[in-house]
């Protein structure tokens, strides 16, 4: 085996290179007897997690959004779920990573600064099935962060128990499948991208490696009610990592979400 | 010493037919030229399996000789695409090439030894490049264009009939080295040259049969008797080829075409056709290291008019499946006015962008992968719904557009991301939702009646902020905007148009 091949296979060479060049079978003997071993120093290490843009939340997540895993933000309207999604995209794109935003609600506003839009692919699917397929395609293309915004897509209405379903011979709407999250988790793990899902209620469940829950606090207003100088200044919220595969749930993190003038 | 290679595709109509329909390769096939005004069809060329079928026979005669004969009409669209493919095969080997006729390309083979090796390796590479685009080629390499063509014609008897997954294979080559040139020419019959009939007859009357006999004649008297043609013939017989190569620029478009024997009235037969055309385009683009930046579709309709449409690609691509889906979307969205009799697909190429994969960091998206992903997403949801988000340069609240996704290269040394401010974001409602808003006597909103959850008692509000836009037009837009908090916690941005008094909700703060 040539020395370059040894280096390419991340094997630590403990003998002088001259001896290996002269005797190509020496390394095979050393490999057989276990005198050479894989060097952890040159093997690819664990890739750095992606920041959410909120250092305290990164710490609660054990460094940030882990590549190759699913993460979920569960937040009611006004609690800052979209703000956290934007902050994660902003942190990743400004670090030079390529990101994809799957936005079936067509709700993204590109005007506010903070996201390097050149590194963001914006896809606007027409229905949830297309959204899940689009997320799968983006993960297969090795985008570092794929954000799936399901915040404006309400949960399917539950059918009461004991009700007989009338079967009609008509074209049914496309179904996302039995478990799209299993498929997406496999895609994320295989291709090394992080998938961040924003929803109003828990959607990903146990398929997510971490679930971030946000609670809405009071809104902040300036000026007297009805007065001419009254302004919406922002919102207070509380965030917490409610579930994590390798870490205990975090304590509540108070968040202040100021509002910039649109 | 100049070295010229000649790539010649004999029986171009036959190659074009098998290239378009590879399943015909094993059948006794003949390509026929339909006669004018209902005249008899004549055989142009036939596969060796069709024993006894010769060019010039009528179709009836050919069928009488070979009852299992399969015939196809000569198709200018197919032949044009096959000739283009031959040019691209030459371009894949050398950047300096000249198309002398359909299926006949000369290229400069000097200096290719570092890439391929000796002349034989260059010729072998040309044969392989032609096979990759589905063509069976005879290749000759010699010191000049005429000599290279003679060498290619000398290689033609060695051609075999092989079927490859791209079309026809079994090419052959002949290399004429400088020291072999005299011997090669001496044995060539004069019939191998494209001489006029009159000159052929004169030479026959002189008792000349080969080029070697011509080369032994004195040049002066030969030129005196035969004129300039005689002088050229004498120089060629001695291996002095003065014709220079005139390189052509690389083709700006890659075209594939097909004609239908009937009018296609639905999308299904066209899909089959496009799939075959895209397969061939993909092979040609891949052989040149190119991708399609834009796809042009031309449909010849039953009334002989052409329906042209451009399929805009969000990113360069050459994967067949997404391109096929995009074509389908383009035609289904605006069906042609009548049946389709011929299809022509044209790809505008751009160089494939390759990048260096990192040694130790995680592997990111390559440009090819990105292009394919954008193509697949465009095919899934439409090209106008995928791309880089941009804010339009005009005053429209929460407006957004998509532009072509062309990310800059990744930074050399990735740094820790700078801190990001967590700010309340606006979720745009596109289009804005209309609502009914009840106000008090001072104009302060009290109740919002909107669809779904976008309604309720107003617990806090701010505004109005008046904006007048497009005041330079006849229909200026004047609105009053409000921030509203609905009972239940929903924060809205609502606006009232001053002229009509109608309200709409533009965004939700989240």
CA distance A171 to chain B (A): 20
| Cα–Cα distance, B334 to A131 (Å, whole number) | 25
| Cα–Cα distance, B281 to B345 (Å, whole number) | 9
Which residue, chain included where needed, has tokens 């080559």?
B173
Q: In what order do the strands lie in the sheet with A70-74?
A: A253-258, A231-244, A210-222, A70-74, A194-199, A145-149, A99-102, A120-123, B386-390, B401-403
CA distance A240 to chain B (A): 15
First to last CA, chain A: 64
Instruction: Express each pLDDT in B219-260 by its tens digit.
Output: 888 888 888 888 888 888 887 877 788 887 766 788 888 888
**Portion 18-47 of A in contact with B at CB < 8 A:** 42, 44-45, 47
**Portion 71-90 of A in contact with B at CB < 8 A:** 75-87, 90
Task: List A83's β-bridge partners, or say none.
Answer: none
Is the pLDDT at A101 greater than 90? The verdict is yes
Is the pLDDT at A14 greater than 80? The verdict is no
Q: Are A17 and A38 part of one and the same domain?
A: yes
Is the pLDDT at A103 greater than 90? The verdict is yes
Tell which of B315, B359, B362 to mutate to test the A interface (max A CBs under 10 Å).
B362
Residue A173 lies in a domain: no
Q: Are A78 and A118 part of one and the same domain?
A: yes
Residue that is last in its domain, among A9, A26, A45: A45
CB contact under 8 A, B427 and A82: yes
pLDDT for the residue numbered A86: 93
Ranges of chain B with pLDDT below 70: 35-39, 166-167, 250-251, 314, 353-364, 367-368, 412-420
Q: Are A13 and A115 part of one and the same domain?
A: no
pLDDT band of A155, cuts 50, 70, 90: very low
Q: Are A39 and A63 part of one and the same domain?
A: no
Q: Are A5 and A87 part of one and the same domain?
A: no
pLDDT band of A71, cuts 50, 70, 90: very high
pLDDT for the residue numbered A156: 43
Tell which of B361, B406, B417, B443 to mutate to test the A interface (max A CBs under 10 Å).
B417
CB contact under 8 A, A121 and B386: yes
| Cα–Cα distance, B138 to B150 (Å, whole number) | 11
CB contact under 8 A, B381 and A95: no
Q: Which two tokens stand for residue B53?
A: 């079928």
CA distance B277 to chain A (A): 25
Mean pLDDT, all residues of chain A: 80
Q: Chain B residue with minimal CA distance to A109?
A: B398
Class for the domain spanning B181-237: mainly alpha
Higher pLDDT, B243 or A83: A83
pLDDT for the residue numbered A30: 74
Provide ipTM, 2 decimals. Answer: 0.76
Is the pLDDT at A210 greater than 90? The verdict is yes
Residue A95 lies in a domain: yes
Q: Which residues contact A158 (CB under 8 A, 6 or more apart)?
A: none
Q: Are A127 and A240 part of one and the same domain?
A: yes
**Residue (of B107, B193, B135) closest to B13 by Cα position:** B135
Q: Are A188 and A114 part of one and the same domain?
A: yes
Q: Which residues contact B45 (CB under 8 A, 6 or more apart)?
A: B11, B13, B14, B30, B31, B55
Count of domains forming chain A: 2
Asked whether the beta carbons of B423 and A259 are under 8 A apart, the reply is: yes
Q: Are A62 and A112 part of one and the same domain?
A: yes
Instruction: Please give the sequence-ordered ranges of beta strands (E in DSSP) within B125-251, or none if there are none.
Output: 138-142, 162-163, 168-169, 172-175
Q: Are A116 and A22 part of one and the same domain?
A: no
- What SS3 string covers A112-140? CCCCCHHHEEEECCCCHHHHHHHHHHHHH
Task: List A149's β-bridge partners, or say none.
Answer: A198
B370 contacts in A (CB within 8 Å)? 98, 141
Average pLDDT on A82-90 reads: 93
pLDDT for the residue numbered A178: 58
Q: Work out the angle between the directed axes of helices B12-20 and B267-287 (0-180°, nearest 10).
A: 120
Percent of chain A exceeding pLDDT 90 equals: 43
Fold equal for B181-237 and B255-351: no
**Residue (of A185, A103, A109) closest to A148 by Cα position:** A103
pLDDT for the residue numbered A261: 59
Domain range for A5 = 1-45
Q: What angle do CA B431, A143, A209 make, to 5 degrees?
A: 95
Instruction: Express each pLDDT in B337-381 by its tens digit.
Output: 888 988 999 998 888 866 666 666 566 677 667 877 887 888 888
pLDDT band of A132, cuts 50, 70, 90: very high
CA distance B506 to chain A (A): 10
Asked whether the beta carbons of B313 and B326 are under 8 A apart, the reply is: yes
| CATH code of the domain occupying B255-351 | 3.30.1490.100
Cα–Cα separations (whole angstroms), residue B210 to A232, B178, B191, B459: 99, 19, 8, 106
Q: Which residues contact B317 (CB under 8 A, 6 or more apart)?
A: B291, B292, B323, B371, B372, B374, B375
Average pLDDT on A148-161 reads: 62
Tell whether domain B4-176 is in CATH 3.40.1170.60: yes
Q: Chain A residue with minimal CA distance to B464?
A: A228
Q: Are A226 and A103 part of one and the same domain?
A: yes
- Eight-class DSSP state of B58: B
pLDDT for the residue numbered A123: 95
């Amino acid at each position: 085996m040539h020395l370059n091949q040894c280096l390419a296979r991340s094997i630590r060479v403990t003998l002088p290179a001259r001896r290996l060049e002269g005797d190509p079978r020496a390394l095979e003997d050393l490999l057989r007897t276990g005198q050479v071993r894989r060097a952890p120093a040159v093997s690819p290490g664990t890739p750095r997690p992606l920041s959410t843009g909120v250092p305290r939340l990164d710490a609660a997540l054990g460094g940030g959004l882990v590549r190759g895993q699913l993460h979920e933000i569960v937040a009611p309207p006004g609690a800052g779920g979209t703000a956290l999604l934007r902050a994660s995209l902003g942190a990743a794109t400004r670090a030079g990573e390529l990101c994809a935003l799957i936005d079936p609600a067509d709700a993204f506003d590109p005007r506010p600064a903070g996201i390097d839009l050149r590194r963001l692919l914006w896809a606007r699917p027409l229905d949830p099935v297309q959204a899940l397929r689009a997320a799968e395609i983006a993960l297969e293309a090795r985008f570092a962060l794929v954000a799936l915004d399901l915040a404006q897509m309400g949960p399917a209405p539950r059918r009461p128990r004991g009700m007989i379903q009338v079967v009609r011979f008509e074209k049914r709407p496309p179904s996302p499948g039995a478990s799209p999250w299993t498929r997406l988790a496999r895609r994320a793990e295989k291709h090394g991208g992080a998938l961040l899902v924003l929803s109003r209620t828990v959607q990903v469940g146990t398929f997510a490696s971490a679930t971030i829950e946000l609670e809405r606090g009071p809104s902040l207003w300036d000026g007297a009610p009805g007065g001419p100088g009254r302004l919406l200044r922002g919102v207070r919220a509380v965030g917490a990592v409610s579930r994590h595969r390798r870490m205990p749930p975090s304590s509540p993190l108070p968040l202040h979400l100021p509002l910039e003038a649109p | 010493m100049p070295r010229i290679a000649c790539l010649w595709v004999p029986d171009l109509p036959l190659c074009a037919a098998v290239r378009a329909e590879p399943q015909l390769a094993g059948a006794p096939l003949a390509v026929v030229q339909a006669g004018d005004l209902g005249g008899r069809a004549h055989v142009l060329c036939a596969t060796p399996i069709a024993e006894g079928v010769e060019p010039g026979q009528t179709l009836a005669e050919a069928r009488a000789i070979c009852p299992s004969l399969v015939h196809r009409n000569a198709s200018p669209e197919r032949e044009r695409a096959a000739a283009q493919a031959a040019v691209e095969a030459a371009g894949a080997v050398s950047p300096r090439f000249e198309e002398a006729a359909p299926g006949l390309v000369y290229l400069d083979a000097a200096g290719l030894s570092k890439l391929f090796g000796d002349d034989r390796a260059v010729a072998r590479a040309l044969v392989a490049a032609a096979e990759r685009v589905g063509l069976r080629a005879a290749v000759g390499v010699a010191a000049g264009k005429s000599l290279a063509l003679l060498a290619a014609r000398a290689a033609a008897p060695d051609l075999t009939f092989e079927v490859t997954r791209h079309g026809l294979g079994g090419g052959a080559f002949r290399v004429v080295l400088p020291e072999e040139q005299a011997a090669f020419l001496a044995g060539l019959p004069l019939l191998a040259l494209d001489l006029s009939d009159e000159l052929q007859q004169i030479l026959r009357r002189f008792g000349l049969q080969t080029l070697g006999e011509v080369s032994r004649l004195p040049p002066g008297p030969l030129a005196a008797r035969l004129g300039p043609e005689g002088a050229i013939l004498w120089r060629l017989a001695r291996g002095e080829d003065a014709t220079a190569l005139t390189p052509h620029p690389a083709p700006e478009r890659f075209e594939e075409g097909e004609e239908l024997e009937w009018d296609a009235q639905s999308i299904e037969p066209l899909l089959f056709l496009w799939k075959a055309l895209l397969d061939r385009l993909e092979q040609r683009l891949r052989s040149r290291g190119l991708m399609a930046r834009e796809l042009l579709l031309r449909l010849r309709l039953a009334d002989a008019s052409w329906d042209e449409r451009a399929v805009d690609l969000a990113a360069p691509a050459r994967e067949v499946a997404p391109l096929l889906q995009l074509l389908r979307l383009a035609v289904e969205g605006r069906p042609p006015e009548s049946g389709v009799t011929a299809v022509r697909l044209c790809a505008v190429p751009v160089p494939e962008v390759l990048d260096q994969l990192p040694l130790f960091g995680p592997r990111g998206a390559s440009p090819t992968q990105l292009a394919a992903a954008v193509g697949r997403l465009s095919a899934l949801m439409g090209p106008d719904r995928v791309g880089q988000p941009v804010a339009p340069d005009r005053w429209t609240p929460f407006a957004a557009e998509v532009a072509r996704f062309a990310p800059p290269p990744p930074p050399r040394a990735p740094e820790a991301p700078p801190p990001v401010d967590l700010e309340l974001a606006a979720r745009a409602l596109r289009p804005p939702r209309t609502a009914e808003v009840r106000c008090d006597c001072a104009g302060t909103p009290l109740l919002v009646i909107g669809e779904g959850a976008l309604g309720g008692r107003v617990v806090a509000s701010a505004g109005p902020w008046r904006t007048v836009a497009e005041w330079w037009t006849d229909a200026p837009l004047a609105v009053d905007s409000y921030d509203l908090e609905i009972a239940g916690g929903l924060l809205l941005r609502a606006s009232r148009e001053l002229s009509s008094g109608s309200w709409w909700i533009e965004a939700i703060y989240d």
